[in-house]
């Protein structure tokens, strides 16, 4: 079975490809290796995938906005399942660079799902985000809650992805599953994320910027738990639900073969506790600069994962302390810090 993974050199994409390859799957990876963050880190991830499985891993340095290139890859490998993780990431970056989000998250997404429709693939899995909950105050966030009030363009593009996927599931009977990831962290993580930034700054003796004066709450979810969830979801495509009540519609499911799931640890952590765990792991105290909430940010996230657990019989469980220790060990090893 050939599985196509976009964003293969990214944080989640790399870990997913690595697991699929260890399971003996043939994987086709697409990534444009853009300069949003350190390209050397992306290249290092790719090298691991290529070294561990030269025959089963096929990589293309391409942007999913390039419709002809994507179409050629689909025609050549005829994937059975597709996982779309390629996107322009980052909430704050979307305020300054909106064009990048329209191109990758909307145009690119449409190119991929169009190819999936034409190829009649068995399951289209795509990354959404907890950011879609926007200004919601009621926590934990449930798939049944409204996501009609995004507070960043990034969040708006992710909700758009969910709507586009649902329409394709309805029109073309394309089995699709959207995954609302909650603050993913762990080894090989993104340099623009808090854990990476804090660890680097603390080790270098530089101050860290603590937004909302430290009054942030995040549902940090360890990468291995994310990948285990994604693997199980890939192998369980949604089906049509003839019992769907159109007089009382629920956002969490549909008459079409389309589902949306939260993937989070369901144990929201205070930002100051998160920083404390990093300090303990490093054995070094951070110098802190307290700042107000940034545009596009939300003060808290927390996931209700009951639907996920019922669907795949798995729930993310790794503690923040354990996950941070694993990240710190990787960071020191990768950057050769004694």
Residues with a catalytic annotation lie at 154
Extract the tokens encoding 204: 């270098």
End-to-end CA distance of the chain: 43
Tokens for 219, please give them: 């549902």
Tracing tokens 């144990």 back to the chain, one arrives at 267
């Amino acid at each position: 079975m050939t599985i196509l993974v976009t964003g293969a050199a990214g944080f989640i994409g790399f870990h997913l490809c690595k697991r699929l390859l260890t399971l003996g799957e043939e994987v086709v990876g697409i990534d444009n290796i853009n300069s949003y963050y350190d390209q050397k880190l992306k290249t290092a991830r790719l090298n691991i995938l290529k070294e561990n499985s030269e025959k089963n891993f096929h990589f293309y340095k391409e942007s999913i906005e390039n419709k002809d290139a994507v179409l050629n890859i689909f025609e050549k490998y005829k994937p059975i399942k597709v996982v779309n993780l390629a996107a322009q990431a980052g909430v704050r970056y979307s305020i300054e660079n909106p064009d990048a989000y329209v191109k990758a998250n909307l145009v690119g997404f449409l190119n991929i799902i169009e190819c999936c429709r034409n190829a009649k693939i068995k399951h289209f899995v795509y990354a959404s985000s907890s950011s879609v909950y926007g200004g919601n105050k009621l926590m934990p966030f449930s798939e049944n809650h409204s996501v009609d009030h995004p507070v960043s363009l990034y969040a708006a593009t992710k909700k758009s992805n969910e709507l586009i996927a649902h329409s394709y599931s309805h029109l073309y009977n394309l089995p699709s599953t959207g995954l609302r990831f909650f603050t993913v962290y762990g080894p090989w993580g993104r340099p623009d994320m808090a854990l990476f930034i804090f660890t680097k700054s603390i080790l270098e003796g530089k101050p860290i910027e603590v937004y909302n004066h430290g009054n942030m709450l995040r549902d940090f979810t360890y990468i291995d738990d994310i990948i285990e969830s994604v693997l199980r979801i890939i192998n369980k495509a949604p089906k049509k639900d003839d019992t769907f009540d159109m007089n009382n519609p629920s956002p969490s499911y549909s008459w079409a073969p389309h589902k949306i799931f939260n993937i989070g640890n369901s144990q929201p952590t205070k930002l100051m506790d998160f920083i404390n765990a990093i300090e303990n792991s490093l054995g070094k105290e951070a110098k802190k600069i307290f700042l107000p909430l940034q545009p596009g940010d939300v003060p808290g996230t927390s996931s209700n994962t009951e639907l996920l657990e019922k669907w795949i019989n798995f729930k993310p469980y790794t503690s923040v302390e354990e996950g941070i220790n694993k990240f710190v060990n990787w960071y020191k090893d990768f950057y050769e810090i004694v």
